[in-house]
Amino acid sequence: MGFTMEDVCSSVERLPLELLLEIWRHLIPTSMQFHQKHAPFPLVVSWVNRRWRNFAVGAPELWCYINVFLKQSSEFVDIQLRRSQALPLSIAVDVPVDKAPENTVEHAQIVSHLNNLFTVLRQHLPRWQEFKASIHGSDPMSRFCPLYVNVTFQALQKAFAPTLRRLHIHIGQPGVFIKIFTAGAPRLAHASFRSISITKQIPHLIGLTSLSLDHVCLMPPAALQIIAVGCPTLSRLSFTGRCILSRGTPLREDTVIHFSALLSLSLVETILEIETVNDFGSGWPLVANCFPLFSAPNLLDLHIAKAGPKAMRVLYHALVTNASHSKFPLLSELHLYEVQCTKAHVRDICHCLPSIEILRVDDLGRLPRFECLEALVPDASVQANPVCPNLRLLSWVTTAPAKYLRGRMQTLLQKRIVWDGPAVQLELSQQAGVGKATDMDWIIAGEKAEITRIPAC
């Protein structure tokens, strides 16, 4: 006798509560990014029957991830927060600026509602473990972003967050100032800021280990120096987009921004710009890249992606001209993705970084196909020293068709490469969508003067 769907549903509804709780724990959306039309997960399961509802309401583990939207009432948000009891909270606040207030009355209502929401949130501030705020809107309405930013963060300006570990602030309009947690966040480990302006009055981030800056303006330029000094444990630093250090006293050219604990530095589609005074004394700022001011003696990974000729020239100048005083003596992994430079630049940069063990490059930018690879591999006829004597992995992504790849590899084979260093694995992969996708692994074998193909796993 078969089971009907009604029988199956009835069996599921009668599952033991302990098993239900274990299943629900794996289904709770913890990314803090699901769309605002979705109801909170505990409410969804509580709609099944009264038994599930009573159990979900009394299970504090289900109410630790709270998404706050502008259309929600402060009473509804307060109920969700109280149901988590004393457990740590992860809170995401979404403030869309979809349309301008029709009149001053509507504007006053929005401001009052935001104040009420953050008054409720601040009551549970000692339990905050993660906080994410996003204020965004369409371009015509972007002029209202600063207004809502001031209202949103006013309640948190002088707040103290004793348990906060992750902080994400995303503003839809660049150049908006914020002041948040100026009283301190001693346990904050990961922070991410997008499209905001940070002054030197930043929170005390002594325990910060990861910092991501996306289209951020640091004012004055010394704010970056303050971050370097004030975050002695910072190990990961990422810049994306146009990050500017401006207004105020410019940094001297001999300034060194020293990150003592930095292990990974990422520059994605970015130009770290700093305002300086030009030689004509007119007061107009000139833009110079501040990357040469960086010093990270323990840096292991350097990621450069989507960099134009200007950014690559600055990188080349910073590394090559100061080769005798390398600021990255332990750098072991270099990524160059979608960059616009010549093979000579890549070769010279690698010459200045002899500690490199892993090099990942591609020709998705304007790097000549295969020429970069040939520049890095020593030729027996020239008897040149290896560019990277400690290299053990060279990864190269190309848009070249498979037939072209095989032909160039045969040319490279005929050179009978002599490599005095350790065996180096060469990974060649073709960008999908260009011809027939292929994946090949090769090895440049030390002391064997040959290249041996390794079957792909």
Q: What is the pLDDT of residue 352?
A: 78
CA triple 208-209-212, angle to 5 deg: 90
CA atoms within 13 A on the CB side of 167: 25
Q: Sign of dihedral through CA atoms 269, 274, 279, 285?
A: positive
Q: What is the pLDDT of residue 46?
A: 67
Q: Are the CB atoms for 175 and 199 separated by under 8 Å?
A: no
Q: What is the pLDDT of residue 141?
A: 47
For 67, the 3-state DSSP assignment is strand
Q: CB count, 10 Å around CB of 419?
A: 21
Q: What is the pLDDT of residue 9?
A: 58
Q: What is the pLDDT of residue 455?
A: 35
Q: What is the pLDDT of residue 100?
A: 59
Q: Are the CB atoms for 229 and 260 separated by under 8 Å?
A: no
Q: What is the DSSP string of 313-382?
A: HHHHHHHHTTGGG-S-TT--EEEEES----HHHHHHHHHT-TT--EEEEESSSSPPTTHHHHHHS--TTT
Pairing of strands 301-305, 333-337: parallel
End-to-end CA distance of the chain: 48
Place of tokens 């921004």: 257
Distance CA 259, CA 224 (A): 10
Q: What is the pLDDT of residue 439?
A: 40
- Find, among 370, 379, 375, the residue nearest to 400 by Cα: 370
Helix H segments across 123-196? 145-154
Q: What is the pLDDT of residue 138?
A: 59
User: Residue 392: left if φ>0, alpha if ψ -120 to 50, beta else—which one?
Assistant: alpha
- What amino acid is encoded at 21 in this protein? L
CA triple 167-173-174, angle to 5 deg: 80
Distance CA 257, CA 229 (A): 9
Pairing of strands 190-194, 210-214: parallel
Q: What is the pLDDT of residue 432?
A: 47
Per-residue pLDDT 10s for the chain (457 aa) are 455 655 545 666 667 767 777 777 776 765 555 444 555 666 666 666 777 777 777 778 888 888 888 888 889 889 888 988 888 988 888 887 766 566 667 777 877 888 888 889 989 989 999 998 887 765 544 556 666 777 777 777 778 888 888 888 887 665 566 677 767 778 888 888 887 776 655 555 677 889 888 877 776 666 777 778 778 888 998 888 766 665 555 566 667 778 888 999 888 877 555 544 433 333 333 334 566 677 888 989 988 887 777 667 777 776 765 554 567 888 889 888 877 777 777 777 777 777 888 888 776 555 555 666 666 655 545 545 566 777 777 777 766 666 666 666 666 555 544 444 555 666 666 554 333 334 444 444 333 333 444 333 3
- Strand-pairing partners, residue 217, are 197, 244
Place of tokens 């600063």: 146
Place of tokens 């700022």: 285
Model-wide pTM > 0.85: no
Q: What is the pLDDT of residue 236?
A: 92
